[in-house]
Chain A
Amino acid sequence: MTENSASPRQGAPNAFWSLANPGRFMGYSGTLLPWLAVITLALLSYGLYKGLFVAPADYQQGESMRIMYIHVPAAWMAMGVYSLMTMSSLGTLVWKHPLADVSQKAAAPIGATFTALCLITGSLWGKPTWGTWWEWDARMTSVLVLLLIYLGIIALWRAIDEPLRAARAVAIMTLVGAVNLPIIKFSVDWWNTLHQPASVFKKGGPSIHPAMLEPLLVMGLAFGFLFGCLQIIRMQAEIMNRRAERLALRQANAEA
């Protein structure tokens, strides 16, 4: 990524590339961030209130079902963040988008955290519901593999000093790891697992009761906005770090 490398590419919309300029990103993201934070807090408060205190308990699972309001959105985000990283990897390899690798690097720890939270909260939901903390079923195993891929990506970013080489290597690894996404999504259909089949995003509409669906969707939206806030903060940090690296290098060259 170079600071002024956001010139319009052939065939790409000009506005897209002008927004891709890291300097411009720092400007508009700084304005956007407080608003995103307020929306996130409002959605989280409303979703948690409805999920914990208003929504009814499940007739079979009882109160433990309330863990769903953080477990399921965390699972959505674990996969959603990886999908974004896959797009960013294409942006790095194909379109050489100046913010693509910044976005990829910033998103990886966030995705890893959401995946870990999904696994831990799932385990805490599994014990009272299934009588076990962990089972090597297809859904849980494939999500664990996703966490390992996230950790591998973070490690690869740290292992290669040269940013351009690191970005390419990580982009290839991310694209290879994307094969795990459909496995996670369809694992409950392809194999016999402890997990129930899809109940929100499925043909014929959600089968979950509207009183439970509303807080779940609100929490999903809140997690999305939360990711937006965290992503902006981490991208700003990465852009400043790269500016500092270039400045330090320039100073070292001037002194030599």
Chain B
Amino acid sequence: MFDFGPQSGYIYAAYAIFALGLLVLLGASLAGRAAARRRLDRLEAESRR
């Protein structure tokens, strides 16, 4: 791992939390869109019947 000296812990923690926050947000957004698409597809299929 790259060494930033005695402040490495703070830097690693900041970047890890940043990455985690963005991944959670991206994952939640994609999951939300997939769920919306599934629900819409199901309702459209039901309305065609």
Contact = CB atoms under 8 A, between A and B. Distances in A.
B17 to A, nearest CB: 5
B40 A243 contact: yes
Contacts of A251: 43, 46-47
Contacts of B26: 230, 233
Contacts, number: 93
Interface in B1-49: 2, 4-5, 7-8, 10-11, 13-15, 17-18, 21-22, 24-26, 28-30, 32-33, 35-37, 39-40, 43-44, 46-47
A247 B43 contact: yes
Interface string A81-123: 0000000000000000000000000000110010011001100
A127 interface: yes
Interface stretch (A62-70, A151-159, A200-208): A62-70
Interface stretch (A15-23, A190-198, A234-242): A234-242
Contact of A250 (B17, B18, B47): B47
Nearest to A254: B47
B33 A234 contact: yes
The residue in A66, A71, A238, A251 that gathers the most chain B C-beta atoms within 10 A of its C-beta is A66
A111 to B, nearest CB: 11
A226 B22 CA distance: 9
A66 B33 contact: no
A236 to B, nearest CB: 6
Contact of A70 (B8, B18, B28, B43): B18
A125 interface: yes
A124 interface: yes
Contacts of B47: 247, 250-251
A176 interface: no
B32 A237 contact: yes
A128 interface: yes
Contact of A71 (B5, B7, B14): B14
A164 interface: no
A53 interface: yes
A244 B33 contact: no
A64 B11 contact: yes
Given A62-B7, A127-B10, 19 more contacts: A52-B15, A63-B7, A64-B10, A64-B11, A67-B14, A109-B25, A109-B28, A117-B21, A120-B21, A121-B17, A124-B10, A128-B10, A230-B25, A236-B33, A236-B36, A238-B36, A240-B33, A240-B39, A247-B47
Interchain residue pairs A-B with the least CB separation, the first 10: A240-B36, A237-B33, A63-B4, A64-B7, A124-B14, A247-B43, A237-B36, A244-B40, A233-B29, A121-B14
